[in-house]
């Protein structure tokens, strides 16, 4: 098997953002991940204060500017966030495929953002608010490792086997 075809068990961070919680979508979103045979190995609810928000979005201001950072920080601090660590084969790519494009109006039907939101970049600019896109998902292995370490202590992560895992891994 070619190296680019090797599939590995990975862990990734997913945040159910305040808009997912206030809309009562947490269970539906989590079910999407479990339906795809991803295993929850860590879960917690947290309010993101200014210091923690800065740690999580440490490079956002540099990449996209202070206005985007400020919109995002305000949005993420308006309510609690549910943080999940998911594990499975190619978990990072699988989660990103399940959640869809960053901009919900560009996300295909069948994805979390495509099914439960329609917000666009233009709407964000016009309203002066962050893009309400329900979830954050780590973008790559390095980001996943960094984010998991920020959000969870090692003793907050569980190792167990699911029935789906017995048949799929």
Query: Of the candidates 27, 46, 12, which has an alpha carbon nearest to the alpha carbon of residue 112?
Result: 27
Q: Which residues are catalytic?
A: 136
Can you read off the two tokens belonging to residue 55?
Answer: 């740690």
Task: Indicate the length of the chain as a whole number.
Answer: 169
Q: Which two tokens stand for residue 125?
A: 């600019």
**Is residue 80 a contact partner of residue 94, using CB atoms and an 8 Å limit?**
no
Residue 73, H or E segment: helix 66-76
Cβ-based neighbours of 80, under 8 Å, separated by 6 or more:
18, 21, 45, 46, 47
* Cβ(120)–Cβ(104) below 8 Å: yes
């Amino acid at each position: 098997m070619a190296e680019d075809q090797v599939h590995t068990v990975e862990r990734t961070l997913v945040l159910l953002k305040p808009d997912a919680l206030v809309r009562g979508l947490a269970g539906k979103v989590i079910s999407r991940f479990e339906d795809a045979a991803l295993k929850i190995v860590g879960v917690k609810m947290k309010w993101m204060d200014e210091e923690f928000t800065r740690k999580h979005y440490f490079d956002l201001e540099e990449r996209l500017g202070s206005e985007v950072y400020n919109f995002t920080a305000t949005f993420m601090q308006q309510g609690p966030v549910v943080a999940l660590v998911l594990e499975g084969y190619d978990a990072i790519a699988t989660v990103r495929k399940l959640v869809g494009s960053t901009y919900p109006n560009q996300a295909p039907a069948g994805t979390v953002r495509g099914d439960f939101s329609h917000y666009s970049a233009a709407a964000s600019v016009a309203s002066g608010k962050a893009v309400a896109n329900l979830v954050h998902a780590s973008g790559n292995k390095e980001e996943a490792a960094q984010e998991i370490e920020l959000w969870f202590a090692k003793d907050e992560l569980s190792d167990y086997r699911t029935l789906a895992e017995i048949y799929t891994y």
